[in-house]
């Protein structure tokens, strides 16, 4: 969809060469799109969405690997203000979610506010001007406020293996799938057994010649309770919208109860028996079952849903290797036992750069230091949204807003409530800058660690992206989501440093 016909908002001061915006939004996935829609609904039109790629959708545009689908039910994994009565299944596939986001963008008129192929290179705050300078690959703007909607699932993470760059065959990451490459008959190595791999492995296993799955840590896998919606159900959702809202509410509250398991390892141990039964019914080889049985508490890592991954591992042309990879040679992957596994294709299913977000190296706050420098090895943000030293900056799906049990779209919409309340003050109350008080932010971060204590995330016997290198929970919201929604409904002025607007000539 083209956005090149829309002209950017003009400068707000006579003689100013750089065009000025009320809000600059980085990225147009769920976070950026949701923010843009709320701005338009509030009558704000002097904003732009900067997107480095050529289409709306974020991670649901980029991740197009075979079998890609959501593990949150469709009617909950969507905007509350834009229900879709035509979801085909209880768990939607990537093409359907991407199509939904494209439709919502068009219906709410966001396309003309979007600048595709504008990669954000630098975002820098000026205390004197009380505004941000946003430098993109195709121009520079200033803005009163910046919303980072680039998310954590935007930059693929490659395994750190010697020799990978010198591999003579084909290699690619699941997030940049090579649809032009015919895998039929090929000897394929899959590195990683996370959420992406368990979806694409069953899709490629029947067509490749040999598939070697290199597993560092086996995941806990539960049945995927998926089914197609009937024509009658979809008709009812269209004709009686309250039915769809009721279903959404039921799914939401049902998934909220999952918190009890994460908070109580003993309760989660009972749930693990369902996963063990699922494995026994799907894998016939006892030796294979032993290889892929986790030795840590369920929930310590992300719980995955699949009815097809485990049977795929039981195929005669599939081998699961648990020895550590030591190097990659031009035509083989070598493991710690000295074995050369000959392959001609490597697919990395190793996730994303979550603990070191690339955008954090491009954002410079009040003291001139980057967000990455402020964070160091541990990300933090007050209410997961604003950061001391970075006035009028919002990060959506930032630190402590990830979930292990419910829909992150609910978290995004909650954060946008806070964004809109702060922006209202900037526009109507002669306020020039808002940022969290350091002590308020410190209390929030300490609370996140306190709420994480005793959960399976820290006491489950594994390492995961939920915890950083210091063992701190910098990723997850560690309790029910409704309290987060209440926190973000309005900003509490006593938790923030509010600076009056400077007089401008």
Read out DSSP for 337-367? TS-EEE-SEEEE---B--SS-GGGGSEE-TT
State whether 384 and 264 are in the same domain. no
The residue segments making up the domain with residue 332 are 164-219+258-348
State whether 334 and 376 are in the same domain. no
What is the per-residue pLDDT across 140-194, written as a single tens digit (0 to 9) for each?
Answer: 999 999 999 987 666 788 888 999 999 999 999 999 999 999 999 999 999 999 8
What is the per-residue pLDDT across 18-66, written as a single tens digit (0 to 9) for each?
Answer: 899 999 999 999 999 999 999 999 999 999 999 999 999 999 999 999 9
25 belongs to a structural domain: yes
Is the distance from CB of 412 to CB of 482 less than 8 angstroms?
Answer: no
Q: What is the mean pLDDT of residues 200-225?
A: 96
DSSP string, 408-420: HHHHHHHHHHHHH
State whether 358 and 314 are in the same domain. no
CATH number, domain of 489, equals: 3.50.50.60
User: Which of 12-26, 65-79, 276-290, 325-339 is predicted least confidently?
Assistant: 12-26
Write the CA distances from 88 to 29, 73, 227, 407, 433, integer angstroms: 21, 11, 9, 19, 45
Mean of the per-residue pLDDT values of the chain = 92
State whether 289 and 419 are in the same domain. no
Is residue 1 pLDDT above 50, yes or no? no
State whether 413 and 295 are in the same domain. no
What is the per-residue pLDDT across 107-126, written as a single tens digit (0 to 9) for each?
Answer: 999 999 999 999 999 999 99
Q: Which of 174, 194, 218, 157 lies closest to 346 in space, CA to CA?
A: 174
User: Which of 273-287, 395-409, 467-481 is predicted least confidently?
Assistant: 467-481
pLDDT of residue 156: 80
pLDDT band with cut points at 50, 70 and 90 for residue 357:
confident
421 belongs to a structural domain: yes
pTM: 0.92
The burial of 24, by beta-carbon neighbours within 10 Å (0-12 exposed, 13-18 middle, 19 or more buried), is given as buried
State whether 132 and 188 are in the same domain. no
DSSP string, 110-127: -GGGEETT--EEEEEEET
Q: Which of 473, 78, 70, 76 lies closest to 262 in space, CA to CA?
A: 473
């Amino acid at each position: 969809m083209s956005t090149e016909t829309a002209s950017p908002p003009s400068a707000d001061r006579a003689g100013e060469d750089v065009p000025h915006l009320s809000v600059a939004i980085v990225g147009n996935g769920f976070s950026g799109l949701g923010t843009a829609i709320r701005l338009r609904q509030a009558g704000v039109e002097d904003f732009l969405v900067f997107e480095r790629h050529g289409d709306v959708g974020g991670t649901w545009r980029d991740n197009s690997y075979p079998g890609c689908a959501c593990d949150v039910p469709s009617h909950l994994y969507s905007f509350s203000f834009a229900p879709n009565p035509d979801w085909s299944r209880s768990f939607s596939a990537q093409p359907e979610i991407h199509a939904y986001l494209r439709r919502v963008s068009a219906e709410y008129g966001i396309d003309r506010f979007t600048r595709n192929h504008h990669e954000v290179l630098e975002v820098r705050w000026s205390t004197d001007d009380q505004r941000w300078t946003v430098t993109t690959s195709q121009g520079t703007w200033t803005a009163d406020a910046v919303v980072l909607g680039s998310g954590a699932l935007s930059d693929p993470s490659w395994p750190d293996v010697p020799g990978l760059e010198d591999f003579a065959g084909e290699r690619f990451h699941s997030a940049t799938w090579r649809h032009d490459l015919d895998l039929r008959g090929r000897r394929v190595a899959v590195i990683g057994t996370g959420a992406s791999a368990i979806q694409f492995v069953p899709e490629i296993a029947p067509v490749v010649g040999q598939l070697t799955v290199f597993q560092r840590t086996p995941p806990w896998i539960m049945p995927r309770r998926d089914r197609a919606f009937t024509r009658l159900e979809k008709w009812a959702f269209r004709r009686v919208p309250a039915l769809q809202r009721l279903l959404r509410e039921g799914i939401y509250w049902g998934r909220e109860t999952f918190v009890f398991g994460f908070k109580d390892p003993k309760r989660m141990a009972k749930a693990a028996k369902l996963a063990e039964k699922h494995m026994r019914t799907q894998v016939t080889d006892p030796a294979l079952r032993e290889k892929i049985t986790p030795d840590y508490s369920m929930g310590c890592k992300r719980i995955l849903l699949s009815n097809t991954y485990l049977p795929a591992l039981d195929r005669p042309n599939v081998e699961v290797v648990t020895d550590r990879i030591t190097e990659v040679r031009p035509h083989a992957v070598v493991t710690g036992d000295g074995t050369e596994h000959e392959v001609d294709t490597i697919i990395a299913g190793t996730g994303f750069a979550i603990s070191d977000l690339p955008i954090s190296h491009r954002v410079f706050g009040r003291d001139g230091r980057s967000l990455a420098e402020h964070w160091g090895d541990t990300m933090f943000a007050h209410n997961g949204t604003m950061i001391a030293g970075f006035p009028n900056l919002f990060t959506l799906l930032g630190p402590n807003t990830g979930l292990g049990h419910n829909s992150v779209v609910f978290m995004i919409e909650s954060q946008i409530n806070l964004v809109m309340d702060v922006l209202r003050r900037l526009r109507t109350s002669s306020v020039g800058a808002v940022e969290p008080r350091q002590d308020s932010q410190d209390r929030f971060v300490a609370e996140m660690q306190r709420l994480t204590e005793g959960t399976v995330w820290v006491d489950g016997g594994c390492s995961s992206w939920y915890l950083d290198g210091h063992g701190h929970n910098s990723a997850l919201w560690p309790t029910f989501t409704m309290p987060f929604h209440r926190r973000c409904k309005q900003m509490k002025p006593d938790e923030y440093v509010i600076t009056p607007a400077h007089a401008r000539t």
